Amino acid sequence: MNETSPAASRRRIAGFTRPAPQPYLEETCVIPIRFHEVDSMLVVWHGHYVTYIEEARRALGRRYGVDYTTFFAHNTPAPVAQLRLDYLAPARLADTLTVTARLFKSEAAKLEFEYEIRRQEDRTLLAFGASLQVFTNLQGELLLTLPPFMVERYRAWENQWIEP
């Protein structure tokens, strides 16, 4: 995606400051809207969007071996330190969503994700956002270098990165 693309323009307007496009891994999941997620106008409550991006992030983690169970197996929690969502259009009860998570390549001890939530039927972009996870030890102290298991994952992903 070039920096003059509509997505790049949306990121600038929304305050995202990602510099040049970076290689990424991607996973998409399909989420049907359930009755308990909508209000009396049959519009999805905004707080559920966090659950939707979490589902996509977990799907990416399972696919690439970096889910929460992996972090805990290596005694390295990865809490969310930042989360941002921008809402563009409402999801409704009749909708099915496609939610895409992208994990960006980084040498720093962090996991940077971007998300897109689209209505499956017409591919309308309903929301987009970003999150940042950091690595800590079991005492909650911030790690300043990538944990060894993540260095191994990066080596395993060498030929899987999608170039922007």
Query: What pLDDT sits at residue 123?
Result: 97
Residue 1 resides in a domain: no
Query: What pLDDT sits at residue 21?
Result: 78
Residue 164 resides in a domain: no
Low-confidence ranges of the chain (pLDDT < 70): 1-20
What would the pLDDT profile of 48-87 be if each residue is shown by its tens digit? 999 999 999 999 999 999 999 999 999 999 999 999 999 9
State the total domains in the chain: 1
Query: What pLDDT sits at residue 1?
Result: 45
Q: Which domain holds residue 21?
A: 6-156
- CATH number, domain with residue 42: 3.10.129.10
pTM greater than the 0.95 cutoff = no
Residue 72 resides in a domain: yes
CA 40 to chain centre: 29
